[in-house]
């Protein structure tokens, strides 16, 4: 296969959802259909197999959760599919957001009984920063579900994206019998031949709407209801428009049940048909997109994971390849350091194992051994003409703590530890405007990161700290010119605090949404941003 063929068969996406909507289950079912595993239940269950992918940090083992995220790759119908795992639950962190920077599209899993939930909203917002296509999988149709029309409305109203149902559910709960495919105009009826909970693939029967054969599969009532609903749908205004999907303005919606496998394959097939090949990233030096199929290699680092092997305090830097081909041992120019380096080891996380990668193509994600030279957002490239990709934004933390070291004699280790952990992007450090490092405020996206920080300072840097959680919940970067705009003149609620980050950017910490609105409404010219400078 030529490089171009290899690149054009790649599809790289992330699955986003609120905890418990079914992200893990859907991922596993995609692997089942992709042939990467033979039986569902064999991958990375939260209780079982937890050591399989990530037994790198003690804390992961203690908690039985994965602190860091990984990539799963499989082949399906000639396409090479990369699923970026976005950490959820307690291990939700800035990495979850950063992972989205490496994806070319997102699949949003929504619980059919609950509709759009809090974490989905946050992740969706980050996806919209890049205008990537967002596909919706409405899951758990095998349970009591909200009315499908209502669910569409819920998505449109809360997320502000238009929806287009690609298929339509027939019944829900025990009566969930199949879906109507709006493209082929056929009914796809599912049956699971009585085997428990979707361990194996389901049987699908195809039939025309109105076909008498359908009466065997559906009750006359369900059949009639479907005919009526399809008529309503076809009359609705929104048309399918692939360009809008690709710009992230229209979300194709699929109904199904990841647990029973109903609707998983129709989703996978249609999703892979519509989701884009590796997207061109813009070179910020020229403002031009970099063609993913060009010969020269380029990539950016979006995540750094510490201590894969505790004995060597090494790190793994995850890079997204943006153009060309990676070969193990190749040399590339590290733009931020201004020198050529050898890309020694490439690791890739396949379903359960870490494997050494000899070659990879634009669209792929691989982990590089990092002796401490990479930072998040760094670019690597080959070729005469250098490229540099825009960095990765800093996301607003949601948990804050004041941190002090217990033993002030260990100041050096403390500062080093804090700086290194911040460089990996696990924490953000803030201080009083003009203040020092004796006492700092740390902000994290996921609350577990605070525990990880304390644990790592202790075990890796031999520093004990005092940590006091602070009541702030949100942070906004102040975009106004620091030379002319004085934060002291602002009219703020008494519990709002002004701080600066390590780059000297000014920020405000808030205890509630209400306090943010207060700041916005009482200070006409104040410009706040949810995302930090790159
Ligand atoms: P995640 O937190 O989004 O990764 O969600 P999981 O995939 O871990 O699923 C959360 C719970 O919902 C688990 O108990 C699953 O077995 C269950 N679940 C997932 N998909 C379905 C589904 O389609 N139907 C039903 N009834 N339960 C499901």
pLDDT digits (tens, 9 = 90+) for 303-336: 888 765 555 566 778 899 999 999 988 999 999 9
Q: Which of 20, 41, 202 to mutate to test the pocket of ligand 1 (most atoms within 8 A of CB)?
A: 20
Measure the CA–CA gap between 374 and 387, rounded to whole angstroms: 17
Q: Tell me which of 67-76, 430-439, 476-485, 509-518 is least confident.
A: 67-76
Question: For the segment 390-418, what is each residue's pLDDT rounded down to a tens digit?
Answer: 988 888 899 999 999 998 888 899 999 99
Pocket of ligand 1 contains residue 45 by CB under 6 Å: no
pLDDT band at 346 (very low <50, low <70, confident <90, very high): low
CA of 56 to the centre of ligand 1 (A): 26
Three-state SS at 110? strand
Angle ∠(455,475,440) on CA atoms, nearest 5: 45
Question: Looking at ligand 1, which atom is closest to the CA of residue 89?
Answer: 2
CA of 112 to the centre of ligand 1 (A): 11
Question: For the segment 26-46, what is each residue's pLDDT rounded down to a tens digit?
Answer: 988 998 888 766 555 444 444
CA of 23 to the centre of ligand 1 (A): 7
Question: Looking at ligand 1, which atom is closest to the CA of residue 256?
Answer: 23
Other CB atoms within a 10 A radius of the CB of residue 382 amount to 21
Q: Which residue has the tokens 């894969």?
A: 308
Question: For the segment 66-79, what is each residue's pLDDT rounded down to a tens digit?
Answer: 334 467 888 899 99
DSSP-assigned letter for residue 296: S
pLDDT at 208: 81
pLDDT at 199: 62
Pocket of ligand 1 contains residue 148 by CB under 6 Å: no
Distance of CA 214 to the CA centre of its chain: 40
Inform me whether the pLDDT recorded for 251 exceeds 60: yes
CA of 43 to the centre of ligand 1 (A): 14
Distances (CA, A) of 376 to 20, 95, 166, 364: 29, 10, 37, 17
What b/e string do you get for 121-143 counting C-beta neighbours within 10 Å, with b at 16 or more?
A: ebbbebbbeeebbbbbbbbbbbe
Question: For the segment 209-222, what is each residue's pLDDT rounded down to a tens digit?
Answer: 777 777 777 888 88
Q: Tell me which of 103-107, 448-452, 515-519 is least confident.
A: 448-452
Pocket of ligand 1 contains residue 431 by CB under 6 Å: no
Mean pLDDT of 195-200: 57
Pocket of ligand 1 contains residue 139 by CB under 6 Å: yes
pLDDT band at 151 (very low <50, low <70, confident <90, very high): very high
Inform me whether the pLDDT recorded for 89 exceeds 80: no
484, exposed or middle or buried, with CB in 10 Å at 0-12, 13-18, 19+?
exposed
pLDDT at 57: 45
Residues facing 469 on adjacent strands: 401
Phi, psi of 432 (to 5 degrees): -55, 145
CA of 437 to the centre of ligand 1 (A): 44
- Cβ-contact 521, 490 below 8 angstroms: no
pLDDT at 512: 94
Distances (CA, A) of 408 to 431, 442, 454, 524: 17, 18, 16, 43
Question: Looking at ligand 1, which atom is closest to the CA of residue 28?
Answer: 7
Distances (CA, A) of 494 to 498, 499, 509: 11, 14, 11
CA of 28 to the centre of ligand 1 (A): 11
Of the candidates 225, 306, 268, the one whose C-alpha atom is nearest the C-alpha of residue 107 is 268
pLDDT at 456: 86
Annotated binding site for GTP: 17-24, 85-89, 139-142
pLDDT band at 350 (very low <50, low <70, confident <90, very high): very low
pLDDT at 220: 83
3-state secondary structure 447-508: CHHHHHHHHHHHHHHCCCEEEEEECCCEEEEECCCCCCCCHHHCCCCCCCEEEEECCCCEEE
pLDDT at 102: 95
Question: Looking at ligand 1, which atom is closest to the CA of residue 27?
Answer: 7
Phi, psi of 8 (to 5 degrees): -70, -15
Of the candidates 509, 491, 492, the one whose C-alpha atom is nearest the C-alpha of residue 500 is 509
Pocket of ligand 1 contains residue 19 by CB under 6 Å: yes
Annotated binding site: 17-24, 85-89, 139-142
CA of 481 to the centre of ligand 1 (A): 48
pLDDT at 473: 92
Pocket of ligand 1 contains residue 114 by CB under 6 Å: no
Question: For the segment 260-301, what is each residue's pLDDT rounded down to a tens digit?
Answer: 999 999 999 999 999 999 999 999 999 999 999 999 999 999
- Cβ-contact 74, 34 below 8 angstroms: yes
Pocket of ligand 1 contains residue 306 by CB under 6 Å: no
Pocket of ligand 1 contains residue 86 by CB under 6 Å: no
Distance of CA 452 to the CA centre of its chain: 21
Pocket of ligand 1 contains residue 259 by CB under 6 Å: yes
Pocket of ligand 1 contains residue 41 by CB under 6 Å: no
Mean pLDDT of 149-154: 96
Pocket of ligand 1 contains residue 123 by CB under 6 Å: no
> Which segments of 143-187 does DSSP mark as H helices, in order?
148-159
Distance of CA 230 to the CA centre of its chain: 33
Above pLDDT 70, what percent of the chain?
86
pLDDT at 347: 57
Inform me whether the pLDDT recorded for 50 exceeds 60: no
HSE of 524, CA atoms in CB hemisphere, 13 A:
0
Mean pLDDT of 106-114: 97
Pocket of ligand 1 contains residue 23 by CB under 6 Å: yes
CA of 166 to the centre of ligand 1 (A): 22
Question: Looking at ligand 1, which atom is closest to the CA of residue 18?
Answer: 3
Mean predicted lDDT score pLDDT of the chain: 86
pLDDT at 177: 86
pLDDT at 90: 65
Question: For the segment 78-87, what is each residue's pLDDT rounded down to a tens digit?
Answer: 999 999 878 7
Above pLDDT 90, what percent of the chain?
54
> Which segments of 252-326 does DSSP mark as H helices, in order?
264-274
Phi, psi of 61 (to 5 degrees): -65, -45
Inform me whether the pLDDT recorded for 16 exceeds 90: yes
Pocket of ligand 1 contains residue 20 by CB under 6 Å: yes
pLDDT band at 49 (very low <50, low <70, confident <90, very high): very low
Residues facing 468 on adjacent strands: 402
CA-based R_g, the chain, Å: 25
- Whole-prediction pTM: 0.88
Mean pLDDT of 419-428: 88
Inform me whether the pLDDT recorded for 94 exceeds 80: yes
Q: Which residue has the tokens 């502000």?
A: 160
pLDDT at 348: 54
Regarding beta strands 250-255 and 162-165, do their DSSP bridges make them parallel or antiparallel, or are they unpaired? parallel
pLDDT at 204: 76
pLDDT at 236: 81
Q: Which of 19, 25, 92, 192 to mutate to test the pocket of ligand 1 (most atoms within 8 A of CB)?
A: 25
Which distant-in-sequence residues (6+ apart) come within 8 Å of 71 by Cβ? 82, 83, 84, 85, 318, 348, 349, 365
Other CB atoms within a 10 A radius of the CB of residue 499 amount to 22
Pocket of ligand 1 contains residue 24 by CB under 6 Å: yes
Pocket of ligand 1 contains residue 88 by CB under 6 Å: yes
pLDDT at 314: 67
Mean pLDDT of 131-143: 97
pLDDT at 315: 77
pLDDT band at 64 (very low <50, low <70, confident <90, very high): very low
- Cβ-contact 474, 508 below 8 angstroms: no
Among the ranges 154-163, 194-203, 346-355, which has the highest mean pLDDT value? Answer: 154-163
pLDDT at 42: 43
Pocket of ligand 1 contains residue 66 by CB under 6 Å: no
Residues facing 306 on adjacent strands: 315
């Amino acid at each position: 296969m030529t490089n171009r063929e290899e690149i054009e068969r790649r599809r790289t996406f992330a699955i986003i959802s609120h905890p418990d909507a079914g992200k893990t289950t859907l991922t596993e079912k995609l692997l089942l259909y992709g042939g990467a595993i033979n039986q569902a239940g064999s991958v990375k269950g939260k209780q079982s197999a937890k050591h399989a992918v990530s037994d790198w940090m003690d804390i992961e083992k203690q908690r039985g959760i994965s602190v860091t995220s990984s990539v799963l790759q499989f082949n399906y119908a000639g396409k090479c599919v990369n699923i970026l795992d976005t950490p959820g639950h307690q291990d939700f962190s800035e990495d979850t957001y950063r992972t989205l920077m490496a994806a070319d599209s997102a699949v949003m899993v929504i619980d059919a009984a609950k509709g759009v939930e809090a974490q989905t909203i946050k992740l969706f917002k980050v996806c919209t920063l890049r205008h990537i296509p967002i596909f919706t999988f409405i899951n758990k149709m095998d349970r009591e579900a909200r009315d499908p029309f209502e669910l569409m409305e819920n998505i449109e109203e809360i997320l502000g994206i238009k929806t287009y149902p690609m298929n339509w559910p027939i019944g829900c709960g025990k009566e969930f019998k199949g879906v109507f495919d709006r493209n082929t105009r056929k009914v796809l009826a599912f049956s699971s031949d009585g085997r428990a909970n979707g361990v194996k693939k389901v049987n699908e029967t195809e039939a025309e709407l109105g076909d008498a054969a359908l009466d065997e599969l559906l009750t006359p009532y369900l059949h009639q209801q479907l005919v009526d609903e399809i008529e309503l749908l076809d009359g609705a205004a929104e048309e399918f428009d692939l360009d809008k999907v690709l710009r992230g303005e229209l979300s194709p919606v699929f109904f199904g049940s990841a647990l029973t496998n109903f609707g998983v394959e129709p989703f996978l097939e249609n999703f892979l048909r519509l989701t884009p090949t590796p997207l061109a990233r813009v070179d910020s030096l020229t403002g031009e997109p970099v063609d993913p199929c060009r010969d020269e290699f380029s990539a950016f680092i979006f995540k750094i994971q510490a201590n894969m092997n505790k004995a060597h305090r090494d790190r793994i830097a995850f890079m997204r390849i943006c153009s060309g081909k990676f070969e193990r041992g190749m040399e590339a120019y590290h733009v931020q350091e201004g020198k050529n380096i050898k890309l020694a080891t490439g690791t890739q996380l396949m379903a359960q194992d870490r494997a050494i990668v000899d070659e990879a193509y634009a669209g792929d994600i691989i982990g590089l051994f990092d002796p401490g030279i990479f930072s998040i957002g760094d670019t690597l490239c080959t070729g005469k003409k250098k490229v540099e990709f825009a960095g990765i934004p800093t996301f607003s933390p949601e948990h804050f703590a004041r941190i002090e070291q217990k033993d002030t004699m260990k100041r050096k280790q403390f500062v080093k530890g804090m700086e290194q952990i911040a460089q990996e992007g696990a924490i953000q450090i803030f201080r009083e405007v003009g203040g020092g490092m004796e006492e700092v405020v740390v902000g994290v996206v996921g609350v577990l990161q605070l525990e990880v920080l304390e644990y790592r300072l202790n075990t890796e840097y031999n520093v004990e700290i005092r940590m006091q959680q602070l009541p702030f919940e949100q942070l906004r970067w102040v975009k106004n010119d620091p030379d002319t705009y004085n934060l002291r003149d602002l009219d703020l609620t008494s519990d709002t605090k002004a701080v600066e980050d390590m780059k000297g950017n000014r920020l405000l910490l808030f205890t509630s949404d209400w306090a943010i609105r207060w700041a916005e409404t009482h200070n006409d010219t104040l410009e706040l941003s949810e995302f930090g400078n790159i």
